[in-house]
Amino acid sequence: MKHLKENIIRTATEANEGHIPAALSILDILWVLYDRILGITPENFSNPDRNRFILSKGHAAIGLYIVLAEKGFFKLEELKNFGKFDSRFGGHPDRTMVPGVEASTGSLGHGFPMAVGLALGAKIKRAPSKVYAIVGDGECNEGTIWESAMLAAHNKLDNLYCVVDQNHSGDPALNPGDMRQKFESFGWQAVRINGHDQEEIYKALTQKSVGKPIAIIAETIKGKGVKIMENSAEWTHKYPTKEQLEVMIKELE
């Protein structure tokens, strides 16, 4: 994972674009999804019955790009153009431009309803595919999240997994309370895990449900792996100096 974290930090720093702490917060989850769960490859991405993944918290796109590059959807070198005017790699993912991206997201609360729609469509077609989404805990203050949660429970979408990246960065503005209890009250099966323990993540993403969508409340650290960034609001959309960058890279070792 060290080289993935280093690639996130270096790519975003060179471009002065991207949300580094948000990407580090969900990196372990992204890696487990693409390495052990989804089964999505560049070769089968056009299969209509494939599993689906939507990054609803689209500002963490740099983490998704790095993982997609690692899995062969495009060459890592292409990300040297990240954030530039003529680049297909923007601060939020664009499905029409970036290979492997399922949905264009960025406006918080909008990606999750797409995931619910995909899961409902798969149920109607009796397709074997499952749908996975990552949402932020701050994003869960959006009404569309809970409207979608009600719809998913009403339609018994047990092919839908919602991972809540609970890094608590938005708590000072509006604390969402017990997220597991909230999802359960909306008719979901819910579990709380350590969002940086890959075995816990894998176990949660492979749990079975009958008639209920599954919520995984992943306790994470914003900026995980870089001490100066961890749980720091200052670094939400900030980039290190050359000197700070080298210290961060050494720290990853």
**CATH number where 96 lies:** 3.40.50.970
pLDDT digits (tens, 9 = 90+) for 107-161: 999 999 999 999 999 999 999 999 999 999 999 999 999 999 999 999 999 999 9
Give the per-residue pLDDT at 153: 98
Q: Is residue 96 part of a domain?
A: yes
Q: Is residue 213 part of a domain?
A: yes
Coil, helix or strand at residue 96:
coil
Give the per-residue pLDDT at 142: 93
Q: Residue 1 pLDDT more than 90?
A: no
Q: Is residue 226 part of a domain?
A: yes
The residue-averaged pLDDT of 87-110 equals 94
pLDDT bin (cut points 50, 70, 90) of residue 170 is confident
Q: Is residue 68 part of a domain?
A: yes
Q: Is residue 63 part of a domain?
A: yes
Give the chain's domain count: 1
pLDDT bin (cut points 50, 70, 90) of residue 253 is low
- Measure the CA–CA gap between 231 and 21, rounded to whole angstroms: 8
Strand arrangement of the beta sheet that strand 160-166 belongs to: 52-55, 131-136, 160-166, 214-219, 189-194
Question: Which range among 26-30, 150-154, 235-239 shows the weakest confidence by mean pLDDT?
Answer: 235-239
> By the 8 A CB rule, do 94 and 88 touch?
yes
Q: Is residue 95 part of a domain?
A: yes
pLDDT digits (tens, 9 = 90+) for 5-19: 999 999 999 888 889
Q: Is residue 241 part of a domain?
A: no
Q: Is residue 239 part of a domain?
A: no
Its domain, for residue 73, covers: 2-234+246-252
**Mean pLDDT across the chain:** 94
Instruction: Sort strands 214-219 and 131-136 into parallel, antiparallel or unpaired.
Output: unpaired
The predicted model scores a pTM of 0.94
